[in-house]
Structure 1
Amino acid sequence: MSVLFTFPGQGAQKPGMLHALPDHPEAARTLAEATTALGRDVLAMDGADALRSTVAVQLSLLVAGVAMARVLAAHGAAPQMVAGLSIGAWPAAVVAGVLDFADAVRLVELRARLMEDAYPSGYGMTAIGGLTRQQLEPLLAQVNGPATPVYLANLNAPRQLVVAGRDAALDAVADLALARGANRAERLAVPVPSHCPLLDAQARTLACAAAQVACRRPHITYISSSAARALFDGDRIVADLAANMARPVLWADTLRHAWERGARVAVEMPSGSVLTRLAQDADFGAGRALCADGNRLDTLVQAARDGQ
């Protein structure tokens, strides 16, 4: 039996999320390292106004994920596996020992700036609930075009999908989906069209920068949510990290792969509980899934220890 740490993606951010980290030396160390790497106070990034920026959101999720994982490890509750959704793949790679935290901070800042600069407005992501991929894809084909690009971006569960694209295209797909029986069509707090070909050029730029940093073989199992399988080569993981902004997220298959490799406890790093709910709905239903938000530190430590 193994413990899986999961790291959420953009949309899970909350105002004050960095200030809500445990009062612990490992959290303080992580905040200090991030501040040094950035050259500015990372604690200034988690305010409600600051979190309107993709840069602040992605950095806050990176820092919060690494900090909480370090706190739990300091209490003897380290994971045997890690997986992250979208930006969450970056703290997962740090916790697995693939990247130095300072390098990850600088690369994530570049990642977010590339995404934000390319699409400062007019684009985003919408969650569609209640339809399968086979039901949704024909609706995307009706709308997708040069002036109204829209793509399937996240396959979070068989009937929990996310699409990315231009605002007008997202609205059109939402209307079609609801008319075909979807029970949800909700814009997410993600102002860029992640995980689709609209970010191909930005992914290539990030890959060039990422190729310049040192990387190592993971010391625990790292599962890519783009490939939905474990990766064991450091260079391959870094290339996967750089490309993931332009590739669909296969989260349901990622959870299934973790289960097949023996994970029975999933602990979601801050902030939010989306991945915990998805784990409870997927093959992880026979295991235990809980999130850092809303649970006491001793509860999280005990759950992780029980799964080891």
Structure 2
Amino acid sequence: MSKIAFIFPGQGAQYVGMGRDLYEKFAIAKELFHKAEKVLGLPISRLCFEGPEEKLRETENTQPAILVHSIICFNILKSYGVNPDITCGLSLGEYSSLVAADALSFEDAVSIVKKRGKYMQEAVPIGTGGMAALMGLTREQVQELIKTASKEGVVEIANFNCPGQIVISGEIAALKFAVELAREFGAKKVTMLNVSAPFHSSLLVGAGEKLKYDLERINIKAPKIPVVFNVTADSEDEPQKIRELLIKQVSSPVLFEDSIKRMANKGVNIFIEVGPGKSLSGFVKKIDRNAEVLNVEDIASLEKTLNQLGGILYESAG
């Protein structure tokens, strides 16, 4: 019997033009864009469809834009009878997961991620922190080089994306030293990321504290399907504990690789990336080579996924 996980992307997946064809074809896309605009007081549909890219890339705009697009794709899949057995998201994508699991209302999620983006951006002055992706090193090697580089300032592991890809985050001097060390350790590739803050590091503890105030004022319910959380790579049902995990998540490493392995161990063999981009699909293929990996971000990928799913589910039923 096939089990399906929906996985939701985080910041960096955005692009100008996202959601436009869905808006033109599906009433639910129009409805959700309009709802979001009412909550935000911001023409988020125009920002998604036309940009400008610099404006869409601003953290407090990016986060609601990706969430809205992701939840539109989720609702369209549901309308075709495709429902997840379990879900998770990378960083920001965790909020999309909670909406999909009916633990958080769409309106509350849109409102909170805009604030989250603002707090994350304000936590560290622009230009003083950053992030880098290291390819081809083990966890142990990265932990070792981080220990050495920390003498230059704060630098920490931010994301365990997949085998051989780990993201580090911190103050610029320490980050640059860590990048040099990574090359000495034999990293296949090192990429400085185009982000404006050192996300998922202890430098963002203050952003989590600000977010706590807002999270305590919204209604979080027990998820109707399991949500696997970034901080623990495990599911959680208790609303207050979910709040605590969302606060902690801002300044803690994202255990994405561990989360995918957890879901595979629970019998998931189909992973659908729901929302803009295909980064998570690439990670999943490296984590679980036996998994079927699909994505839905526009009409073309929706049609392809529905066709492939029909074949996979038919075979598993047979």
- State the TM bucket, normalised to the shorter chain: over 0.9
1:75 aligns with 2:74: no
Q: Offset at 1:208? A: 2.1
Q: Of the candidates 135, 151, 167, which is equivalent to residue 129 of structure 1?
A: 135
Count of residue pairs the alignment pairs up: 306
Partners of 1:189 and 1:269 lie apart in 2 by 23
1:193 aligns with 2:194: no
Q: Offset at 1:195? A: 1.1
Partners of 1:303 and 1:69 lie apart in 2 by 17
1:197 and 1:246 in contact (8 A); partners too: yes
Q: Offset at 1:262? A: 1.6
1:118 aligns with 2:120: no
Report the secondary structure of 1:82's partner residue. Answer: strand
Give the equivalent residue in structure 2 for 1:37: 39
Partners of 1:188 and 1:2 lie apart in 2 by 34
Give the equivalent residue in structure 1 for 2:155: 150
What aligned pairs does 1:62-101 form with structure 2 within 5 A after superposition?
Answer: 62-101=67-106
1:150 and 1:165 in contact (8 A); partners too: yes
Q: Of the candidates 282, 285, 290, which is equivalent to residue 286 of structure 1?
A: 290
Report the secondary structure of 2:92's partner residue. Answer: helix
Give the equivalent residue in structure 1 for 2:11: 10
Partners of 1:98 and 1:79 lie apart in 2 by 14
Give the equivalent residue in structure 2 for 1:209: 214
Q: Offset at 1:51? A: 2.3
CA 4–304 in structure 1, closer or farther in 2 if over 3 Å, else same: farther
Q: Offset at 1:92? A: 0.7
1:207 and 1:243 in contact (8 A); partners too: no
Partners of 1:179 and 1:15 lie apart in 2 by 37
Letter in 2 for 1:286: N
Letter in 1 for 2:296: A
Partners of 1:260 and 1:60 lie apart in 2 by 32
Partners of 2:308 and 2:195 lie apart in 1 by 31
Letter in 1 for 2:17: G
1:54 and 1:112 in contact (8 A); partners too: yes
More displaced 10-residue stretch of structure 1: 200-209 or 17-26: 17-26
1:240 aligns with 2:245: yes
Letter in 1 for 2:14: Q
1:17 and 1:60 in contact (8 A); partners too: no
Partners of 2:183 and 2:111 lie apart in 1 by 41
Q: Offset at 1:58? A: 1.1
Q: Offset at 1:167? A: 2.4
- Show CA shifts across 1:13-60 (max 9, x none): 212223354521121121111111112211243311212311111111
More displaced 10-residue stretch of structure 1: 103-112 or 42-51: 42-51
1:139 aligns with 2:141: no
2:124 and 2:203 in contact (8 A); partners too: no
1:276 and 1:289 in contact (8 A); partners too: yes
Letter in 2 for 1:247: S
2:198 and 2:204 in contact (8 A); partners too: yes
Partners of 2:222 and 2:307 lie apart in 1 by 28
Q: Offset at 1:293? A: 4.2
Partners of 1:165 and 1:221 lie apart in 2 by 32
Superposition RMSD in Å: 1.8
- Show CA shifts across 1:139-178 (max 9, x none): 1122224x63211111112321000012232222112111
Report the secondary structure of 2:235's partner residue. Answer: strand
Unaligned runs of 5+ residues in structure 1 are none
CA 15–185 in structure 1, closer or farther in 2 if over 3 Å, else same: same
Partners of 2:295 and 2:198 lie apart in 1 by 27
Q: Of the candidates 201, 218, 223, which is equivalent to residue 218 of structure 1?
A: 223
- Show CA shifts across 1:239-298 (max 9, x none): 322321111111111001111112111111221111101111112x21201222475322
Report the secondary structure of 1:289's partner residue. Answer: strand
CA 21–141 in structure 1, closer or farther in 2 if over 3 Å, else same: farther
Unaligned runs of 5+ residues in structure 2 are none
* % identical aligned pairs: 29
CA 138–246 in structure 1, closer or farther in 2 if over 3 Å, else same: same
Q: TM-score, normalised by structure 2?
A: 0.91
